[in-house]
Amino acid sequence: MADRAGNGNPRRAAVEALLHVHRDGGYSHIVWENALETDHLTAADRALASRIFWGVIERRLTLDYLMDCYSRVPVKKLQPAVREILRTGLYQLLFMERIPASAAVNESVKMTRSMKVGQASGFVNVVLRAVSRQGMSRIEALPEGDEKTELLYSCPRELTAFWQRAYGVEQALALTQDINREPIAFFRVDLLHFTQERWEDELNRLNIDHRWEDGLPGCLCVSRPQELRGLEPPFRQAYYAQDKASQWCCAALNVLPGEQVADVCAAPGGKSLTIAQSMHNEGLLISGDIHEHKCRILRQRLQEFGITISQVVCRDASAPCEDVWKGSFHRVLCDVPCSGLGVIGRKPEIRYRWREEVDSLPALQLKILEQGAEMVRPGGVLQYSTCTLNPAENEGVAERFLSAHPEYSPRLLPAALQPLFDVAEREPSHHVTLFPSVHDCDGFFIASFQKRN
């Protein structure tokens, strides 16, 4: 195992975290959170380490191909530490223009010694200098086709082919080309205790470049998210990151003050927060999750935002619905576990692991949806959503549910969601798929049903 901390060195912090992900099978977000807690880095060093860490995961196929072009030893046979040092060096050379090539090479060579793989220092030096001279020319010279597309965007060709079958060649290419685009920074501001006008005044006072999303009150887009840290209390504690797609999902539910609402897969809590605010903190909101530690965090988040109508319960949403809740809720949201193919921009390793559970997920998703349906009162609304781009998990589950449950009918999504259909050139329906290239947000799916009276 590598040393516990990067000793204040941002490049080494990135390398050690990558070892935990690629060698030990760690989940990138958890690994990186732990790295930031244990490494003693300045704010600038954290930013550099973070850029390298996430960038290497995003561009792994590209980096490994170029390593193989200039190395006599196949990538898979390299010592893990050497492989990650090379990946980080290559990423700096190819995708970080502000870092001088000499710094990328020299720091990588020095790291071989500090990480006790000094025998590879000459090898690392040779490979990095070769790539420094040649750049992406080896890939750019490839004939047009699947291999070149895969390597240019570091998107496995199996995933591109999957999207082609699902959404057509044009949309699949757009998804592939967008896969490394930095996600747009959307936030939800607290409109329970502040008006949007007061937020506007505060943002203008600090000259924070921003815009409000049309049709989504409280949805804020910021060019430089780090500037929000300069907000004065109480504004500093009154916003949270939430992609526009998730906010559209909450808008589709169309909750009203005083209703009884359930969010059955609620962690980490963004949708519950947004729903509670839309209810004006009046009524009852049940927020559930299967993991007790996530429930504790969820409960704390709701309390911090002054939400008093929520009850957080630890429960398995796929298990039989409790009798006391059957037929009790005006609206039930089932935002189910999914393969995450719509949020690869935020979780880049999904592109390499997506096949692991994708075939088994629809059965679980349908089970959660069916148990959520038990909670809805006659005339009430049941909503299903995922953050993936896979018809089997999306339209497939929705259609299976409708065919098996005649007591439910399709519910036309509210008129407030009309812009989503307009930009996709589609007629309004009871379901909609959001594409990053079309809607400027995470990939997302929303379907709505109504229980017959």
- Sequence-distant (≥ 6) Cβ neighbours of residue 375 within 8 angstroms: 262, 264, 321, 325, 326, 327, 328, 329, 332
Q: Is the N-terminal amide bond of 234 cis, ω within 30° of 0?
A: yes
Q: Is the N-terminal amide bond of 337 cis, ω within 30° of 0?
A: no
Tell me which amino acid residue 170 is. Answer: E
Q: Which residue in this structure is represented by tokens 């930009």?
A: 423
Which two three-digit tokens encode residue 358? 């994708």
Phi, psi of 329, deg, nearest 5? -110, 140
- Four-point Cα dihedral 239, 244, 249, 255, nearest 10: 40
Which two three-digit tokens encode residue 434? 């959001």
- CA atoms of 14 and 21, how far apart (whole Å): 11
By DSSP bridging, strand 260-263 and strand 284-289 are parallel
Largest CA distance in the chain: 75
Q: Which of 395, 383, 431 is nearest to 166 (CA)?
A: 395
**DSSP structure class, residue 217:** T
**DSSP structure class, residue 332:** E
Catalytic residues: 387
Which two three-digit tokens encode residue 301? 């988040």
- CA atoms of 149 and 162, how far apart (whole Å): 14
What are the strands, taking DSSP E only, across 128-246?
186-189, 210-212, 219-222, 239-241
What are the strands, taking DSSP E only, across 292-350?
310-314, 329-335
Q: Reduce the DSSP state of residue 444 to 3 states and report it.
A: strand
